[in-house]
């Protein structure tokens, strides 16, 4: 090999090593940017709030509220997935939508019996029911409901239940637990088999009718996590309660008290007194 050929080979090797180093650097930068992008999903938290109990109908409703850690975002849709005790109330519907939101498929809302009662801190014979529904922004011309920049909560809709007769006749505090289908570690997704939990997407501000991903978080209602992994997952808590005694019908008014019957002797005496008064009045008129 000539000196010229050796020089060219050495130069090529250096060039190849340099290209390899640049490629590796670009790969690292690109990979880091992808991880950073994956970690930049806005965090959206859901909660049940503001319980209302209608004393005339026995209907119990909860607001569903949202907040985000990124200002100015708008919810596109949510898989509304939660558990509740079917022994104390019965799911009616999702209502009172704000802005342009409405219920979308599945129709009707899925209601499935759940066998997780003891895992959620209920007696094993309790009847837990699982609700699976979808809400979505279907009317883009309606006023937008933008999540506030200060991180405060915003209501998007209500979930409503019919309180059972047994609870109506119970004057104690009414504190039902309504449990979001999301494990304590959100990366573990939902408790129900094959469930990803209350998946929420946000409106993509750059593309009309499109959505972007969000990382879901929840605040549980009258229920508290106790650990990750194996059951039990949590326990019931009486934190937000209402007085169910307003559903008890008021007692009927007391019967009027009957006057005692007059005895025959009392009647004779009363008649004699009245006769005496008549005679006395007549006598006085003759004198004057």
- The domain ranges of the chain are 1-40, 43-246
Residues 105-120: what's their mean pLDDT? Answer: 95
Listed range (22-36, 145-159, 248-262) with the worst mean pLDDT = 22-36
Q: What is the pLDDT of residues 166-192, one digit of tens each?
A: 777 666 789 999 999 999 999 999 999
> CB of 49 within 8 A of CB of 63?
yes
Reply yes or no on whether the pLDDT at 24 is more than 60: no
pLDDT given at position 236? 96
pLDDT given at position 229? 81
Residues 39-68: what's their mean pLDDT? Answer: 93
Q: How confident is the model at residue 263 (pLDDT cuts 50, 70, 90)?
A: low
- Would you give the DSSP letter of residue 259? P
pLDDT given at position 7? 42
> CB of 145 within 8 A of CB of 152?
no
pLDDT given at position 274? 72
pLDDT given at position 56? 83
pLDDT given at position 251? 59
Q: How confident is the model at residue 206 (pLDDT cuts 50, 70, 90)?
A: confident
Q: How confident is the model at residue 256 (pLDDT cuts 50, 70, 90)?
A: low
Q: Please state the separation of Cα 202 from the chain's center in Å.
A: 19
Q: How confident is the model at residue 227 (pLDDT cuts 50, 70, 90)?
A: confident
- Would you give the DSSP letter of residue 221? B
Reply yes or no on whether the pLDDT at 118 is more than 80: yes
**Model pTM above 0.75:** no
Residue reference for tokens 């000196």: 3
Arithmetic mean of pLDDT over the chain: 82
- The span from the CA of 188 to the CA of 194, in Å, is 11
Listed range (17-31, 72-86, 215-229) with the worst mean pLDDT = 17-31
* Residue 21: CA count within 13 A, CB half-sphere: 6
**CATH fold group of domain 43-246:** Immunoglobulin-like (2.60.40)
> CB of 191 within 8 A of CB of 233?
yes
- Of the chain, the percentage scoring pLDDT greater than 70 comes to 73
């Amino acid at each position: 090999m000539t000196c010229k050929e050796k020089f060219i080979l050495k130069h090529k090797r250096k060039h190849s090593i340099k290209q390899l180093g640049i490629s590796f650097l670009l790969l690292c930068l690109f990979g880091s940017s992808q991880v950073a992008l994956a970690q930049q999903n806005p965090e959206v938290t859901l909660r049940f709030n503001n319980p209302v109990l209608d004393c005339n109908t026995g209907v119990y409703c909860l607001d569903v509220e949202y907040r985000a850690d990124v200002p100015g975002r708008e919810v596109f849709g949510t898989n509304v997935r939660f558990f509740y005790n079917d022994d104390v109330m019965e799911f009616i519907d999702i209502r009172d939508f704000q802005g342009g939101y409405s219920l979308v498929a599945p129709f009707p809302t899925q209601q499935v019996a759940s066998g997780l009662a003891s895992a959620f801190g209920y007696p094993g014979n309790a009847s837990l029911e699982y609700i699976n529904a979808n809400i979505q922004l279907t009317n883009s011309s309606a006023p937008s409901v933008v999540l506030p920049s200060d991180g405060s909560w915003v209501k998007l809709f209500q979930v409503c239940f019919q309180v059972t007769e047994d609870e109506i006749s119970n004057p104690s505090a009414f504190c039902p637990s309504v449990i979001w289908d999301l494990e304590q570690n959100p990366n573990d997704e939902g408790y129900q088999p094959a469930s990803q939990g209350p998946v929420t997407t946000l409106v993509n501000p750059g593309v009309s009718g499109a959505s972007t991903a969000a990382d879901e978080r929840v605040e549980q209602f009258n229920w508290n996590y106790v650990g990750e992994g194996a059951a039990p997952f949590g326990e019931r808590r009486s934190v937000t309660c209402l007085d169910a005694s307003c559903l008890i019908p008021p007692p009927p008014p007391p019967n009027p008290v009957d006057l005692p019957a007059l005895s025959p002797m009392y009647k004779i005496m009363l008649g004699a007194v009245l006769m005496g008064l008549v005679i006395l009045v007549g006598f006085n008129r003759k004198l004057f």
